[in-house]
Structure 1
Amino acid sequence: MTVKLDFEECLKDSPRFRAEIEVVQNDVSELETRLEKLVKQCQAMLEAGRVYCQTSKSFINGVRELGHQCSGDKMMEEWLNACSKKLSVILEAQGEMIDTTQKSVKTKLHNFVKEDVKRFKDVRKEFERSSETLEGALSRNAQANRGKQHEVEEASNALLNARKGFRSEALDYVLEINVIEAKKKTDILSAMLSLMEAQSQFFQQGHQSLAQLDDYRQKLNEEHKQFVLNSAREKRDMEQRHAAIKKKDMSYDDSIMDFHADAANGIAMEGYLYKRASNAFKTWSRRWFSIQKNQLVYQKKFKDQPTVVVEDLRLCTVKPSSENERRFCFEVVSPSKCCLLQADSDRQQQAWITAVQNSIASAFQECRDDTNSPRQRSSSVSLNSVGGGGGGGGGAVDQEKVGYKALEEVQAIPGNRQCCDCGEPGPDWASINLGITLCIVCSGIHRSLGVHFSKVRSLTLDSWEPELIKLMCELGNSVINKIYEARINEITIKKPHPSSPRGDKESWIRSKYVEKKFIQKLPETSRNPLLRRSSAFVEDRPAQRPALKPKPNRYTLARITGFNSSEINNTGSHKDLEKDEEDLSGLHPGALLYRSAALQNFPVMADALAHGADVNWVNTSEESRTPLIQAVTVNALAACEFLLQNSANVNLADSNGRGPLHHATILGHTGLVCLFLKRGADYNAKDKNQKDPITIAVDSANADIVTLLRIAKMNKEMQETDEAYGPSGHSGEKGSGGGLANTRKSLQALKNHISGWAIGGQHN
């Protein structure tokens, strides 16, 4: 017996299952119609057969009477008597055939329609009722406001009961489908076999056409007997399996979801998600999503053509979203659009985020396997340089050169030609906030840690700004491993190698960067919690933050972190060393980060962050300045980039109300102004003297910075205008004419004129 539907498939409740259910329902409906018609035809045939038998009986009596009439003619009398006897035997056989047809065909088929098909319809109604109940519960659960706990609990409980009831009814419905499929075969086949046997017996004396069916009838009869035995055995096994599955807990709130990167059907992941529409109403719709062929697609029905959400997973990123009222939301962001999705539970949300991240890594791996060298891949990279003002073929060549520069310069740093974590040669991925190079496997693990631990970027497929390349060249695998693997010889954990399993690499990376098991522990005086300050605090608490000691020099910093003076003194000269050395062993990580930011000492900055330094630490003894402001004072573009990549607050102001953008404007550091504006600095913020950066730049007669700040302001104003009125500047119009369009052209010309600042980064 062939199983029509599988029990596991019905628990998924996928569009494929719904499509198969629809096919079965149509088949049963058509079967019912045909069987009812056949039963009526059989009844008419039986009634006609009985009339025929009655008439034939009168005819045979007439023949017998005719034989008696011909008693004088012995030959006629014997022949007519013989004919009447044979006809009587045939008539008796025909009567038996009619009775057999009545019992084997009409009765069985009638019972099948009135009992089995009716039972199937009843189970189907229960299934459809529970399906509607589940759909309503899912909708109410999705609409529950995270701020109203009683609504959330009520919706969750309702969904739990609805899902449990639905799965129970679905299992019963699938069982009934398989049973009626098997019974349909046995009953119809048995009825027709009985009919043919009666017909064969009835016509076996003279009907050659039926005699030719003897071999077939016997063969079919034998197969039917074996089929009945097999069907009974499989039915018993199926009922036992059904009972075992039904005993399991069906109250769990998650669908059966698994990620299969190498699935035979090409679908790596699939399941239901809510999708928010991009229209003005922001409506939510439940759709069946799947990851296939390096694309994220969805469909409403199984036969619908899939709608593509992301054309190429290599061009997107995924992250959780908590900016709306709905729970379990996450965003899939691509260069062209942002898609907001919602899962049914936290477990499903995490499963989808992990699946998209793994699919991104797989897509990059396939791209890597299809190319011959990193140089070939970098030729297809389009650098998104801030200073790109021109166009034409020459620009593409310049972008390729910058791509080669990023790969070659970063890999030229000591230790960067092997993966920082497993040692695989030729890594072409990087963590830009750590300053290390990674292989494809380790980069996927780093990506799963979250951007607050590691920000992963491809050296060949992503764009690289000059300040990022400089930042990567300031650090490197050797420097970072001296920090994060300082105590590796004291611990028995073995560092993974290129051929190690992914699980070993993931365990090592989490121990190294998340748990920080291998860094050199600081003295207790360096871990005084009173010396730290979170960026979330706004008010000053001088009593809890003692003043810093005098500024250290490069030599004393080296003695704290374990780096030799040649590693942190880029000039190679010791003439700047102070004669009176200062013991900074008690300096806590926040203060160490503050001091090293002014010295542009990247190894020490990385060491301070590794030991838990608050990147937004405030020094109350120096006007509540932060490490980012310290880096601005010395025009350290790469140091500012390093702090921003490690989540420094670009708008955190000092005690005078001046943020990093204010200080960069006062000092005339045009490159830093470009960097901060690109990172979302507030150009409208004012200091205690009621001066915003534009006013400061005007007072200092710095035309370049004034132009930059006004461009940023005009950009924001035009963006707000576009959102309200459209690109044309007129409500309801979408054209390109009008005064706003001309202003946009002029603004673009100004951008192109000053685009070199973003690359140079050090203009004053």
Structure 2
Amino acid sequence: MGHPPLEFSDCYLDSPEFRETLKCYEVELERTSKFLKELIKDGNSVISAIRGYSVAVQKFSQTLSMFQFDVIGDSLTDDEINIAQSFQEFAGLLQEVETDRMMLVQNASDLLIKPLEKFRKEQIGVTKEKKKRFEKDSEKYYSQVDKHLSLSAKKKETQLQEADEILDKERVNFYESSVEYVYQIQQVQDRKKFDVVEPVLAFLHSVLTLNNLTVEMTRDFMPYKQELQLSLQNTRNNYESTREEMEELMKRMKHPSQIGKMHSFLPMEGYLYCQEKWALGVSWVKYYVKYHKEGRRLVMVPCEQKTTTKQGPTQLTLKSCIRRKTESIDKRFCFDVETNERNAPVTFQALSEGDRKLWMEAMDGKEPIYHSPIHKQAESNKNVFHEEDPTNPGDVDLHSSDWDIKTITSALKFYLRSLSEPLMTYSLHRDLMCAAKSDNLDFRLTEIHSLTYKLPEKNREMLEMLIKHLVNVCSHSEDNLMTPSNMAVIFGPTLLRAKEETVAAMLDIKFQNIVVEILIEDYKKIFSNMPDSSAPPIPPPRITPRKRQPITISKRPPRVFQALSHDHFQHTESNYQPLV
């Protein structure tokens, strides 16, 4: 459907597959940049050439109809499907009003051109700067690697240590720029869903509403406009909640200590230099090597191919592995591998002493490797819920003036977030995500209803109490702007967090929000009735996604986002207010 997510962990491997995926993102970024440039040019034509307005709108609508959003991940929410189809809807509308002359408001440039130019400058421009730094640091790092590996082992120890320190510094710089570039290029892919569509939507609205000849058509467009505006708002909210989680993951991945941790669970693969003997001497050729423990298969992919000939991967079957003695070769970090396919041992050079130890350990090298892995003491609770402490009674007057509302709500969220596993459990996470990604609304509700009753009894009781309170909060949404959708953005990542912290898991946060939104909207049906267990629901074939009922859009959207950024709501006896 689209491009696979770029995991931050792939930055440390920097494999050819990672580079190829990154190239796909760069091609899409360039396509988006060219599309925006074309869209801005056509918009200016519409504004400045009233006499040729019909021709300009026709070209503008054609440009819109040809562009489609590429997506990250395996599924789209209803809102994202609506957004992805929006340009086609706009193009169809413009085709119908092509023959009419329209009046443009004086601020048409502010509605359309400036926001698109701002996106190109601040988002795409920043991404290209990150790319330049990434390419520069990449070139410096691998150049330093080549220089480093060419050092003779007979050099003084101080010289070797100094060389190691220089390489480590270049490696950290390269990893940091790589992680930042991956983060930025994925953010642009998500931001364009609303940063590009919103200006077009605003511009079209001004065009339609100011033309007396298209009043009726404008009335027909308004329900879709309101639906799309709600989809944009929901997508923006989901983006903000996902961005915060992804930014925290990026910061952790940038820490130097993370490099060592990555090797503890990543598959054994990476760059090695292979000694190849020729008639005129010996050369060291760079390969990207993958070792599969099952079958003891060694796959070598050449990295420095000539343009005239292309060499495919070499597959060998490992017999044994042994460390190369320092005095037996002029290169550092070397080890020999015996294979079934070759009579003589194959000599490899690793990137560092630590890298050689990892390869030796993976291949069951003859010399034992002793290292001290860092074990984290896992905190586990036999029961998700804590036993009551008689010295701390549960009956606390939360309405007392001594308590701060922010403190209470923060403590609740912190408690739920700190549980050894989320309230809706890791074991049901995949099934809940599959239900939320279904195109059939009835199946979504039925499946989530059924899965709720598969929770442990204590978990379900606490979930019911929490959702009941959230339903009460949402019933005052006209005053506090806490709709089920907004509330789900706050509690989705808390109640259904994924076990693995990866970019792919972060992209599923929007579907976690959908589950919580359904629990709130259908609270009575889910918690008042047992699910029908006569026959398990079967996911139906793909159908057209639902259309939301037109609603009245609040004139105070900024306040909604401010409330969401604080993740708080205020409770009083008769009213609910977001804490701004």
TM-score by length of 2: 0.48
Q: TM-score, normalised by structure 1?
A: 0.37
* Greater relative contact order (Cα < 8 A, sep 6+): 2
User: Radius of gyration: which is bigger?
Assistant: 1
